[in-house]
């Protein structure tokens, strides 16, 4: 009799790309932080730097950017990318597992915008895409001009 694998807790695959683990972390952020990170990503395209900078801005650090301005920039970037992403992923059904859904969504991002974004922009766009219903609702509720 074959034994069944216990899947209650599984570490990520050793062969999985680091971007998948970055993605799992980003998926834990709220919509405002994702849009803020997407806005800031146009300035410095490193996911770790962006995430730390978002927290600094959020806690009132003396940076030249306000959360509102960065959210506005992220909302504009989201509006510009989301239609193309919808077309690129039409008919695809992402996995419910974040570690499986992330690479699927990341491939769609790379298909739509392979050369004009760096790793932070791609990471934040991927997270926004996987949370698109929440992101769209947040943008609509907060009347972000896109």
6 lies in some domain: no
- Please give the Cα distance from 13 to 17 (Å, whole number): 9
Above 90 in pLDDT, residue 21?
no
Residue 136 included in any domain: yes
Question: Has residue 125 been placed in a domain?
Answer: yes
| Residue 34 phi, psi dihedral angles, 5° rounding | -65, -45
CA distance 73 to 79: 10
On whether residue 11 sits in a domain, the answer given is: no
Confidence of residue 146 (pLDDT cuts 50, 70, 90): very low
Considering the chain, what percentage of its residues have pLDDT values greater than 70? 75
Checking if the pLDDT of 116 tops 90, the result is: no
Q: Phi and psi (nearest 5°) for 124?
A: -70, -35
pLDDT value at 59 more than 80: yes
pLDDT over 90 at 117, yes or no? no
Is 94 inside any structural domain? Answer: yes
Q: Is residue 8 part of a domain?
A: no
Q: How many whole angstroms separate alpha carbon 49 and alpha carbon 39? A: 13
Specify the number of domains making up the chain: 1
**pLDDT tops 60 at residue 72:** yes
Positive or negative CA dihedral for 130, 133, 137, 139? positive
Locate 103 and state its tokens: 């690479």
Q: Which structural domain, as residue segments, surrounds residue 57?
A: 18-141
Residue 26 covered by a domain:
yes
Taking only the tens place, the pLDDT of each residue in 96-109 is 777 778 888 888 88
């Amino acid at each position: 009799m074959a034994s069944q694998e216990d899947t209650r807790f599984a570490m990520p695959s050793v062969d999985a790309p680091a971007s998948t683990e970055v993605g799992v972390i980003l998926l834990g952020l709220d919509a405002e932080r994702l849009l803020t990170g997407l806005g800031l990503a146009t300035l410095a395209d490193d996911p770790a730097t962006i995430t730390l900078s978002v927290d600094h801005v959020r806690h009132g650090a003396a940076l030249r950017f306000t959360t509102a301005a960065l959210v506005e920039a992220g909302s504009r970037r989201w509006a510009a990318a989301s239609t193309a992403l919808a077309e690129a992923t039409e008919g695809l059904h992402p996995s419910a597992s974040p570690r499986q859904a992330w690479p699927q969504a990341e491939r769609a991002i790379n298909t739509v915008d392979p050369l004009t974004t760096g790793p932070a922009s791609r990471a934040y766009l991927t997270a926004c895409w996987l949370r698109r219903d929440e992101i769209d609702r947040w943008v609509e509720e907060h009347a972000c001009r896109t």
